Amino acid sequence: MAALTPPVCDFDWQAPEFTLPGTDGKHYSLQDVAGEKSTLVMFICNHCPFVLAVMDKIVRDAHELKDHGIGVVAICSNDHVAYPADNFDNMQLMAEKHSFPFPYLHDAEQEVARRYEAVCTPDYFGFNKDLGLQYRGRLDATCMNAGSEDLRRDLFEAMKQIAETGRGPEDQIPSIGCSIKWKP
């Protein structure tokens, strides 16, 4: 398994619209999940060791970010036929197991991942209130093994800064993870 890193943040790139089914039985658009001050769109999946290593931190940060007026959503775009661990039923189980405080959406046709130019899981997109991209970096220094709890919270701090100022940090360290599992 080769780890991939997404490109550097393209500041003010506009978030593409979407409407996708969630594990809770509802459909969500970008406007439905957008926060008052900023929005975090995460591409994750159920089986990636990079995602699993930070899952508790993702849930923790999502809870705390809501208190800052930040909307959070996660999208699974992996080929669920070739990777059944990422199918909709297993997404529902993952959301329940971890008590996701955000909608977990299924991008079965992979159109949203392509529009966002998502590269890996996890891939984080932090937008300001005008839905201009301000952050495309890592959650923290954790890789495939659970990092310590005292690591600098890069994603959390960046999203707070975006909510407060409308701008993300100039210096960003890319996320690292497994490739999106594209359909043939």
113 touches 77 (CB < 8 A): yes
d(CA 169, CA 56): 24
Given this model, what pLDDT does residue 125 score?
A: 98
Query: For each of the chain's 184 residues, which pLDDT tens digit applies?
Result: 567 777 778 999 999 999 999 999 999 999 999 999 999 999 999 999 999 999 999 999 999 999 999 999 999 999 999 999 999 999 999 999 999 999 999 999 999 999 999 999 999 999 999 999 999 999 998 766 665 667 789 999 999 999 999 999 999 999 999 999 999 9
Domain-located, residue 2: no
φ, ψ at 38 (rounded to 5°): -170, 175
Q: Helices (DSSP H) in the chain: which residue ranges?
A: 30-33, 49-66, 88-97, 111-116, 154-165
> Across the strands, what pairs with 163?
none
Domain-located, residue 53: yes
Domain-located, residue 145: yes
> Across the strands, what pairs with 125?
41
Full domain range(s) for residue 89: 19-179
Domain-located, residue 90: yes
Domain-located, residue 136: yes
Domain-located, residue 78: yes
φ, ψ at 95 (rounded to 5°): -60, -40
| CATH number of the domain enclosing 163 | 3.40.30.10
**The total number of structural domains that make up the chain:** 1
DSSP, collapsed to helix, strand or coil, labels residue 184 as: coil
Given this model, what pLDDT does residue 40 score?
A: 98
- The 3-state secondary structure of 77-108, one letter per residue: CCCCCCCHHHCHHHHHHHHHHCCCCCCEEECC
Given this model, what pLDDT does residue 76 score?
A: 98
φ, ψ at 134 (rounded to 5°): -130, -15
Given this model, what pLDDT does residue 57 score?
A: 94
Q: Token digits for 76?
A: 């699974």
Domain-located, residue 3: no
d(CA 23, CA 70): 21
